[in-house]
Structure 1
């Protein structure tokens, strides 16, 4: 390797990477030049031969006058840019995501028959939050949920049933139809969705020992802090599930 230190006043000579590193530090510390750019130029196809250039980023050392731009100067900022500069960090893409409250309000304005599973969950949550008292709208939401019952994601099911339960619009037949899928996928739910489903099943007054046993098993696997947080939401589920022999730990 060779070291060329232009404005630093050092002659071209072989140098190790460690020497070049300390030269750069001394130059910066002595304020002889602004922060340095280290660029490499491959002289030929051989991997052994490489010239390492240490070039100060200032007009005096870069060799261009005031009328010359840094981009056009020898060994300027973009010299060998395609080979040497690391890839620029990608800017976070603006996905156009809206707050959940606004998404729920927008879903609430649409006909439930036009919503998918995610939209139904948001609409039910927004309707419960806003205290929507529209019998026809809740009936349409229930009908659409029954149509999509075989393809609904479990977190959407928990949001839909929780919104219905909070608004006292639960359809017992709908909960019974969804219960087999709920039991089959209970292990994949988060603690918050478990609480929503347990409260909804309890308020629908459905007595299902299988659901209670599975819920008890899931509660045994969560931490004590989560149990205390979920206890107010789960207590009525165990009271109304009709299985007195199973109790939450």
Structure 2
């Protein structure tokens, strides 16, 4: 559990856009701060997979989260099969385009959908950054070079790898020069989707991505004029360095840090 310095105002006034499997907006950890904005499949946008709810809890849950007063906005792009965690690029791009239309600044996007390189996906992400909204993405969970993954390879985004409790790169986390920073990603406890009080544990670069999205929200609550490039630079310069082990070839030895 993380309690930030009051100077960050717990992320109040900042929107965190969760582009994922949807969320359970009524979960108690969201404190009436969560809403479903768009469902690329034409449904009600609720989460019956758990991934999106879990990541939202990490980024902005009142108990489990980093930015405890940020506003949670959900865009469901994964769910090609009922309660599944997959989806075609067309749905992902559709959801990302909707963020540009609906987001109110300051805002940050948390998108943990790591895929093979795709021009249309990459362009949709770059369009969001060009609109002044930072995009935090997962490096991927293949124990491979993140530079072969969309949108993690893009210089415009903030690409996050995962660590475990021993300050090691989690063994399946992608790595390499396209990773900007690492954050906790192994056995992370957060909100679950089954009931309004469910708790569940998940692992992956998705959870690491959500941690960093929460940090970005804290930065924006303190200074809403920060650009995506300035936020990325601030994350790097504030990180704890030379602490992690087995970071993988070409990876920066940076662990996300913000003054508590």
Quick check: TM above 0.5?
no
Highest CA radius of gyration, 1 or 2?
A: 1
TM-score normalised by L of structure 1: 0.30
TM-score normalised by L of structure 2: 0.29
Higher strand share: 2
Higher helix share: 1
User: With CA pairs under 8 Å and 6+ residues apart, which has the higher RCO, 1 or 2?
Assistant: 2
